[in-house]
Amino acid sequence: MSLTSEERILKTLRHEEVDRIPTFEWFVDKKVIEAIYPGLSYQGFVYQADQDAICVDLNYKNEELEPNIYRDEWGIVKKDTGESHTYPIDGPLKTMRDLDKYEPPDPHAPERYVTLESELKEHQGKKAVILHLNDVFSIPSRLMGFEHFLMTLIEAPKLIEGIIEMCVEVNLKMADEAVKRGVKIIYTGDDFAHKHSPMVSPSHFKNLFFPPLCKVMGGYKDRGLYIIKHTDGEIMPLIDMIVDSGIDCLDPIDPTAGMDLAEIKKKYGQRIALKGNVDCAQTLTFGSVEQTIAESQKCIEVAGPGGGYIFSSGNSIHSAVKPENYIAMMETHRKYCNYPIQV
C-alpha cells in the first residue's frame, strides 16, 4: 500500500490503516532549514525531507506603529523580536463598550486567502495542506492583553463570553471560506496551559471556555473539516473536556510539562489521534544526537502501534534546535516508521 501524504494523514486521523507513520511540523525555522538544506524554501524543505504536510496561516495586514512594533487587523499590538513569531503586547478591548464598537477582520476578504489558495493549487493531493485557525483562547486573550484578560475572567465574565463568541463566529466564517477553497484539515493553535498547570482553573474553563469550544469544534466538524488541536502545557486537568469537544487529534503532548505520551495513548488513543512529542525545549536544543535518537525511538514505540499517530517534535522546530539533532530525529523516523512498527 502506497499512499499520498494527504491520504496518509487523513487515514491516520480516521484511525485507518496506513503504510507508515506520517510526520510534519507546524513550523520549521528558516535558520534550521538553511543549515540542513541551504537555499531551500519551507515548501522545498517539506518535499526534500519527505514530510507529509504544508501548514498555512491566513493573510493579515500589519500597521507599523514604531520600529519593531506592529498592529494587525485584529487590533492586537505585537513586537517583532527578530524571531519568526511576534510577541503580543496589548489589545484593543478593555470594556463592554469597546466590544460593542469593535469590528473584527473581514472573514470574507479575498486577500485573506491569497497564500492559502496558492499553496492548495501547488500542493494539494501531494501534501496535506493544513490551515491554522483558532478556537477560544489565543485571540480573546490577546485582544485584551493577557493580564487584563485574566483579571476580567473574575471581574466581568460576561465580557469574556462576548469576546469568545465573536471570535468563534469569525473563525467559523473563515472556515466556510477555507472549505470553499478545498481545505480538509485545520489546526487550532490556542494554548490552554503553561508548564505547570492550565492558565485558568478547570472550573473557569468548564463554565466559560468549554461550551464555546464545543461550538467551534462542532462547527468545524459540521463543515467537514478534520481538527488537530494544539495546546502546550500541563493540560491533564482539562484533557477530558478537550477530547469531548470533538477534536480528531491532540498535539503535542508537551514533554516539558510532564505529559506522558504512552499514558495518553493508552487512555485516549481509541478516541483521538495523537501528534508529538520529541522534546524541542531540551533534547533537540541541548541534547546529543544519541539522546535525540533514543527519545524519537521511544515516541514511535509507545504511540505508533495501532495507528492514529503523527510523529513530530513537542512543539515546533524553532531557531535554537540543533540541525544535527533534527536530522537524527528525521532519520530515526525514516528507519522505524513503516507498519508494522518494529523498534
CATH number at residue 306: 3.20.20.210
Beta bridge partners of 70: 64, 78
d(CA 192, CA 247): 15
And the C-alpha cell for 204? 473557569
Asked whether residue 99 is domain-assigned, the answer is: no
* Residues ≥6 apart with Cβ < 8 Å to 80: 68, 69, 70, 86
The confidence score (pLDDT) of residue 82 equals: 79
Instruction: Return the amino acid letter for 55.
Output: C
The 8-class DSSP code of residue 205 comes to: I
**pTM for this model (two decimals):** 0.97
Residue 343's pLDDT is 84
- Residues 138 and 168: their CA atoms lie apart, in Å, by 11
DSSP state of 255: G
> Does 281 fall in a domain?
yes
Per-residue model confidence (pLDDT) at position 2: 85
Residue 191 falls within a domain, yes or no? yes
Q: Is 70 a member of any domain?
A: no
3-state per-residue secondary structure call for 122-190: HHECCEEEEEEECCCCHHHHHHHCHHHHHHHHHHCHHHHHHHHHHHHHHHHHHHHHHHHCCCCEEEECC
140 near 187, Cβ under 8 Å? no
Angle at CA of residue 35, ends 129 and 255, nearest 5° = 65
pLDDT at 303: 98
> Would you state the pLDDT for residue 233?
97
Residue 168 phi, psi dihedral angles, 5° rounding: -60, -45
In a domain, 175, yes or no: yes
Domain tally for the chain? 1
Q: Is residue 94 part of a domain?
A: no
Q: Which residue ranges in the chain fall short of pLDDT 50?
A: none
Domain of 306 in residue numbering reads as 5-58+112-336
Question: Is 174 inside a domain boundary?
Answer: yes
Residue 43 lies in a domain: yes
